[in-house]
Amino acid sequence: MGFEEKRVIMEVQKTALYNYHKNLGAKFVPFAGYEMPIQYKDGIVKEHISTRTHAGFFDVSHMGQFFLEGDETLIESLEKIIPADLKNLKINHSKYSFLLNNEGGIIDDLIITRTEKGFCIILNAACKENDIKQISQFLKKHHKHLLNNDLSLIALQGPKSVEILEKLIPGVANLKFMTGNNFEYDGENLYVTRSGYTGEDGFEISISNTKVEKLIDYLISNKVKPIGLGARDTLRLEAGLCLYGHDLNEKINPVEANLKWAIAKKRKEVGGFNGWEKIKNLLANGSKKIRVGIKPDGKVIARENTKIFSSDNNEIGFVTSGTFGPSVNAPVAMGYVKSEFSEVGTSIQLEVRGKKYGGKISELPFYKKSYVK
Amino acid sequence: MSEKKFSKKHEWVSLDGDVATVGITKHATEMLGDIVFVEVPDAGKAVEKEGQAAVVESTKAASDVYSPISGEITEGNKAIADDPGSVNTDPEGASWFFKLKIKDKGEYDSLMSKDEYDKFCKENPS
């Protein structure tokens, strides 16, 4: 896990739940300018397994909850930087997408949801300030926008999530994957989507900072464990999901990232977004390198920046995320290789501490997703 | 077997004649978290005092294990390489890392006692 902080942060920020985490025995690390729990008393493996077998909650309030309001022209503005089909996105439906630069590179990956008055975009914590600058270039004066810091964001993930949350907030069980709605809780409105970053069924709950402790009290009384960034990383990697700043960055485009499925079909044909010329060409001809899953043959862990070699010893790529997958019960990794070596089953070598270890290109995800569609 | 001695890098050593057994301390495993990979040295390898001798990886990160004492490796514990999680359950017993034939018992004598090590850990929390 590379949780290193690349930007210089003047002041460390804390989420509304900071003291709550402390009381739960959290170990904190600086992450994207925030003091965030990396793990609690149980440790990463137990946290990971309890999310897969019961349910876990994650404080992801460091992520940006960015709200936009406007008329039809708001859609035109956003579609210049986001390659999703926002015109045809229904109210309360969400899409995974990106902000793209002029070269088609990924400025950030995000979830965008259509709301009654516009859109809500969930942005990565380390990117959110720059993201807003980039989006703002395309906005018109009458478009309103707000990064709402009065809201916490709680992910509830795992097979028991639906049963537990439905008891507290009736109606959430009717949500399908990647849709959301407004609900009432304790006299306040909150917004719940059925989504997540673990490969499990679950929800993300946007709730005011003043009510979030009460929600967590309820979850804990239902044996939902707190889950830190450590297990968040092992869970998302097993599910084959990218971590921005590691698997994705501004020099990587969605075709190289093997995420072309996330560019809307209509947008692929018609274009009209940043970097389209380049992406159109890559869609037609393929990219030189591509993101793949990697399984080392033995127990060795190929972490970020591990060099990848072909079976005849030519350097062909590098690892961008690598760890031990507790549910796979083996090491797992993702990385970029030259496209001709990207076929599943291709034998590769991984250079760890100066020694070469065997491995194979693997299918993604490593762990079967169980979303409710 | 002699009493266990401890290094500032969180290894323990016990001595039986001129053969030392080396492992990592319970305190070290608590700091590392879940151990998922171990690499132990092969017999015949020469190691220097405080030289890198083995590797331990948790879900969080990879760490080197140093030999607190110089000598020649006589055996690496293959059982922990096959079952890295066992290091979390019995770090100061069955889950030793390697044995080595030592050259200088003075190196052993200069290491910390159990009490000194416990005090060292309290004064150097990480």
Going by their DSSP bridges, the two strands B19-24 and B5-6 should be labelled as unpaired
- Global confidence as pTM: 0.92
How close A235 comes to chain B (CA, Å)? 12
Instruction: Give which of B16, B80, B34 is closest to B54, Cα–Cα.
Output: B80
Spell out a b/e string for A338-364, using b for 16 or more CB atoms within 10 Å of the CB, else e.
Answer: bbebbeeebebbbbbeeeebebebbeb
Domain around B76? 5-105
CA distances from A88 to A7, A71, A74, A256, A265 (A): 37, 14, 13, 26, 12
pLDDT in tens, A42-68: 999 999 999 999 999 999 999 999 999
Q: Looking at the complex, does the CB of residue B84 fall below 8 Å from at least one CB of chain A?
A: yes
Q: What pLDDT does residue B54 have? A: 96
- Check pLDDT > 80 for residue B125: no
ipTM above 0.95, yes or no: no
B60 with A44: Cβ contact below 8 A: yes
Pairwise CB contact (< 8 Å): A326 & B59: yes
Domains of chain A: 18-60+149-238 (3.30.1360.120), 288-373 (2.40.30.110)
Q: Rounded mean pLDDT of A280-288?
A: 96
Interchain CB distance below 8 Å, B36 and A1: no
For A:26-65, CB contacts with B below 8 A are 38-39, 43-45
How many inter-chain contacts (A to B, CB under 8 Å) are there?
42
User: Do the chains contact at A38 and B34, CB–CB below 8 Å?
Assistant: no
- DSSP conformational letter for B86: H
Residue A7: per-residue pLDDT: 46
Q: Say if residue A6's pLDDT is above 50.
A: no
The pair of three-digit structure tokens given for residue A236, joined into one six-digit string = 């998302």
- Using the Cβ of A107 and the Cβ atoms of chain B, whether some distance falls under 8 Å is answered with no
> Per-residue b/e over A193-212, b at no fewer than 16 CB within 10 Å?
bbbbbbbbbbbbbbbbeebb
DSSP state of B41: P
Q: Give B54's strand partners.
A: B65
Residues B33, A324: C-beta atoms closer than 8 Å: no
What confidence tens digit (pLDDT) does each residue in A217-255 have? 999 999 999 999 999 999 999 999 999 999 999 999 999
Nearest by CB: A300 against B37, B58, B59? B37
With a CB-CB cutoff of 8 Å, which residues 225-264 of chain A face chain B?
230, 234
Lowest-confidence region among A181-190, A267-276, B43-52, B57-66: B57-66
- The residues near A63 (Cβ < 8 Å, ≥ 6 apart) are A122, A123, A124, A125, A128, A153
Predicted confidence (pLDDT) at residue A358 exceeds the cutoff of 60: yes
Q: Which residues of B touch A25 (CB under 8 A)?
A: none
Does any domain span residue B48? Answer: yes
Say what angle helices A161-168 and A212-221 make with each other, to 10 degrees.
Answer: 130
Residue position matching structure tokens 């399984």: A295
Of A300, A324, A353, the CB nearest to B59: A324
Contacts of A45 in chain B (CB under 8 A): 34, 59
CA distance B81 to chain A (A): 9
The end-to-end CA distance of chain A, in Å, is: 31
Percent with pLDDT over 90 in chain A: 95
Tell the residue number behind the tokens 């793949």, with chain if given: A292
Give the chain B residue nearest A48 (alpha carbons). B59
Backbone angles phi, psi at A314, to 5 degrees: -95, 140
Query: A20: pLDDT confidence band, cut at 50, 70 and 90?
Result: very high
Give the residue from B57, B59, B65 with the most A CB atoms within 10 Å of its CB, the best one to mutate: B59
Per-residue confidence band for A276, with pLDDT thresholds at 50, 70 and 90: very high
A120 interfacial to chain B (CB closer than 8 Å): no
Q: What are the residues whose beta carbons fall under 8 Å from the beta carbon of A345, sequence distance 6 or more?
A: A360, A361
User: How large is the average pLDDT for residues A270-288?
Assistant: 96
In tens, the pLDDT along A194-225 reads 999 999 999 999 999 999 999 999 999 999 99
CB-CB neighbours of A5 under 10 Å: 14
* The pLDDT of residue B126: 64
Is the peptide bond between A170 and the residue preceding it cis, with omega within 30 degrees of 0?
no
Q: Is residue B44 included in any domain, yes or no? A: yes
A326 touches chain B (CB under 8 A): yes
* A132 shares contact with chain B (CB less than 8 Å): no
Instruction: Match 């709730």 to its residue by tokens.
Output: A207
Does B117 fall in a domain? Answer: no
Supply the mean pLDDT for chain A.
Answer: 95
Contact check, Cβ <8 Å, A1/B81: no
Q: Is the pLDDT of residue A3 over 50?
A: no
The Cα–Cα gap between A279 and A161 comes to 38
Least confident range of A69-78, A303-312, A330-339, B52-61 = B52-61
- Partner A contacted by B34 (CB < 8 A): yes
pLDDT bin (cut points 50, 70, 90) of residue A5 is very low
Chain A nearest-CA distance from B76, in A, is: 17
Residue B10 falls within a domain, yes or no?
A: yes
pLDDT at B124: 84
pLDDT band of B1, cuts 50, 70, 90: low
Confidence at A9, pLDDT banded by 50, 70, 90? very low
Pick the residue from chain A with its C-alpha nearest to B30: A43
**pLDDT-derived band of residue A370, with 50, 70 and 90 as boundaries?**
confident
Q: Which domain CATH number covers B37?
A: 2.40.50.100
pLDDT of residue B2: 75
Of the given ranges (A7-11, A46-50, A346-350, B75-79), which has the lowest mean pLDDT?
A7-11
Residue A297: burial class (beta carbons within 10 Å; 0-12, 13-18, 19+): middle
B39 chain-A contacts, CB cut-off 8 A? 300
CB burial string A313-324: b at 16+ within 10 A, e below: eeebbbbbbbbb
B17 is a domain residue? yes
| H or E segment to which residue B126 belongs | none
Domain count, chain B: 1
What is the three-state SS of chain A?
Answer: CCCCCCCCCCCCECCCCHHHHHHCCCEEEEECCEEEEEECCCCHHHHHHHHHHCCEEEECCCCEEEEEECCHHHHHHHHCCCCCCCCCCCCCEEEEEEEECCCCCEEEEEEEEECCCEEEEEECCCCHHHHHHHHHCCCCCCCEEEECCCEEEEEEECCCHHHHHHHHCCCHHHCCCCEEEEEEECCEEEEEECCCCCCCCEEEEEEECCCHHHHHHHHHHCCCEECCHHHHHHHHHHCCCCCECCCECCCCCCCCCCCHHHCCHHHHHHCCCCCHHHHHHHHHHCCCEEEEEEEECCCCCCCCCCEEEECCCCEEEEEEEEEEECCCCEEEEEEEEEHHHCCCCCEEEEEECCEEEEEEEECCCCCCCCCCC
pLDDT in tens, A120-157: 999 999 999 999 999 999 999 999 999 999 999 999 99
Beta carbons of B59 and A331 less than 8 Å apart = no
Residue B78 lies in a domain: yes
pLDDT at A70 over 80: yes
B89 touches chain A (CB under 8 A): no
